[in-house]
Amino acid sequence: MEYFIKKHQCSFNLLVWCKTNPTPATNGSWLPDLEYCLVFKGKGTPKYNDGYEFKSKFFVSGINKADKDLYNHPTIKMLKQVKQHLQHSCKPGDIVFDCFCGSGTTLVAAKELGLNYLGFDNNEKYVKITKDRLNGCDQRGNMNLFETDFDKVQKEHYEQMNLFEGETE
């Protein structure tokens, strides 16, 4: 926070996700019923989307069990909430950067909103899940025909085949 606030004079907001059904195992600690998201805004950055429906900093919902099962990620976020955050803070042409993209929820939200996006993760399993998800495919290989970029999927398939064949020679 010091880097953003002192060095770059950014303002910040704290967004909170209050889970109505957190995991009950706490090992003597507090319930994991809250998740936080820090949003930094650079000095002089213009305001976007003043719509009332985008301004809430407090969200209440259950854990995202359906997407957790679908994309096999233990801390997957709610696509609806991430899209709302992006709609409040981005304008067309902006780049959304997620340096811990996990299963790719933020990148999918950016794609659906027509924003540019860039994501990283150090777990190859989640990088693959994110790529598949951006191409309309879940962890079981099921494709959403309305969101699938078939040319990209075919190209990646052939690239993987060539890599695999190269390793066996």
> Is residue 169, in this structure, part of any structural domain at all?
no
At 52 the pLDDT is: 75
Supply the pLDDT for residue 164: 42
Name the band, by pLDDT with cuts 50, 70 and 90, for residue 167.
very low
- Domain CATH for 111: 3.40.50.150
Structural domains counted in the chain: 1
What are the angstrom distances between the C-alpha of 135 and each of 36, 46, 86, 145? 28, 32, 20, 10
- Taking only the tens place, the pLDDT of each residue in 13-68 is 899 989 998 888 778 888 889 989 888 888 777 766 667 777 788 888 888 788 88
In a domain, 80, yes or no: yes
Distance CA(4)–CA(40), nearest Å, equals 7
Please say if the pLDDT value at position 113 is more than 90.
yes
Residue 78 dihedral angles phi and psi, to the nearest 5°: -80, 120
